[in-house]
Amino acid sequence: MKTYFQNIYSALYTTLVGMKITFKHMFVPSVTIQYPSVKPRMVDRVRNRLYVNMDDCIGCDQCSRACPVSCITIETVKALPTDDIGKTSQGKKKALWVTQFDIDIAKCCFCQLCVFPCPTECIYMTDAYEFTEFDRKDLNYSFVTLTPAEIAEKKANYAKMEAEKAAEKAAAAAAKAAAPKAETPAVVKASAPAAPKAAAPVETKPATAPDGEQVKQTPATDTPNEPQKEA
């Protein structure tokens, strides 16, 4: 009989010891959440899944070049002069059609280095930290807003414009090569013979004879003087 009551006491005692922590938390506020319907709030600066606002993207490729693991792939096509792409929220006019903007989250190392170089702040880290997939291909996120048909159209229009420019340039070069070159006559300046220098006039003073009469002088000639004959 004594053993029977000892077993009952031992069972109650061990149960109370085991339920001590449970009874303690029955009188304090609950700290658990109903996950996944209720999720914890993340901190302000957190490195989670990337998001791109294509309305502000200008296709500058700064984020792709800053990525250390090359998980961002961007392709752009230059817009035609007649295209109106619009402006960003900061008022900057767009000049490129973004035909591809893919981010492979499976490669992303969540370094956030792609966020800071963006001039329009269109790429940033979100608070979404649940993006598990059964297939790794589903981790490649595409943010392009253009349809495949629109992408093909933009590329075709740009290729056509480039072909027309190349044809016009080739036609202009051919026309320039076919045009005869205008011959410019060479102007030769004939050098006139130098005029002989005039001899300086020689002033001759009239010679005076001893008696005061003037002696008529004859001009000097270039002929040599004849030798005088001896008397």
Nearest by Cα to 122 from 19, 51, 212: 51
**pLDDT digit string (tens) for 197-219?**
555 555 555 545 445 455 455 44
Burial of 78 (0-12, 13-18, 19+ CB in 10 A): middle
Band (124; pLDDT cuts 50, 70, 90)? very high
Domain membership flag for residue 135 = yes
Q: Per-residue confidence at 188, pLDDT binned at 50, 70, 90?
A: very low
Domain extent for 118? 50-146
- pLDDT value at position 230? 47
Give the pLDDT band (50/70/90) at residue 231: very low
Task: With respect to residue 139, please indicate whether it lies within any of the assigned structural domains.
Answer: yes
Who contacts 115 (Cβ-Cβ below 8 Å, separation ≥6)? 63, 123, 124, 125
Q: Is residue 93 part of a domain?
A: yes
- What CATH code is carried by the domain that includes residue 101? 3.30.70.3270
Residue 76 pairs in a beta bridge with 98
Helices (H), strands (E): how many in the chain? 4, 7
- Does the residue 16 lie in any domain? no
Q: Specify if 171 maps to a domain.
A: no
Among 25-39, 108-122, 183-197, where is mean pLDDT lowest? 183-197
Domain count, the chain: 1
Does residue 211 fall inside a structural domain? no
* CA atoms lying within 13 Å on the CB side of residue 183: 2
Q: Cα(65)–Cα(123) distance, rounded to whole angstroms?
A: 14
- What whole-number distance in Å separates Cα of residue 229 and Cα of residue 231? 6
Cα separation of 62 and 98, whole Å?
13
Provide CB contacts within 8 A for 114, sequence distance 6+: 50, 63, 64, 66, 67, 72, 123
Alpha helices in the chain (DSSP H): 2-18, 20-25, 62-66, 148-178
User: Does residue 82 lie in a domain region?
Assistant: yes
For every residue of 16-30, which 3-state class applies, written as one string?
A: HHHCHHHHHHCCCCC
Query: Mean pLDDT lowest for which of 15-29, 87-101, 132-146?
Result: 15-29
Return the pLDDT at 195.
55
Percent of the chain's residues with pLDDT above 90: 36
Query: What confidence tier does 66 reach under pLDDT thresholds 50, 70, 90?
Result: very high
Please, which residues have CB within 8 angstroms of residue 199's CB and are 6 or more apart in sequence?
Answer: none
Tokens for 59, please give them. 């296709």
The pLDDT of residue 68 is: 94
Q: Is the pLDDT of residue 93 over 60?
A: yes
Q: How confident is the model at residue 223 (pLDDT cuts 50, 70, 90)?
A: very low
| Mean pLDDT of the chain, nearest integer | 80
99 or 26: which leads in pLDDT: 99
- Does residue 64 lie within any of the structural domains? yes
- Residues 43-50, mean pLDDT to the nearest whole number: 78
Most confident region among 21-30, 68-77, 80-89 by mean pLDDT: 68-77
User: What share of the chain has pLDDT > 70, as a percent?
Assistant: 76
CA distances from 136 to 105, 143, 202 (A): 9, 17, 118
pTM for the model stands at: 0.59
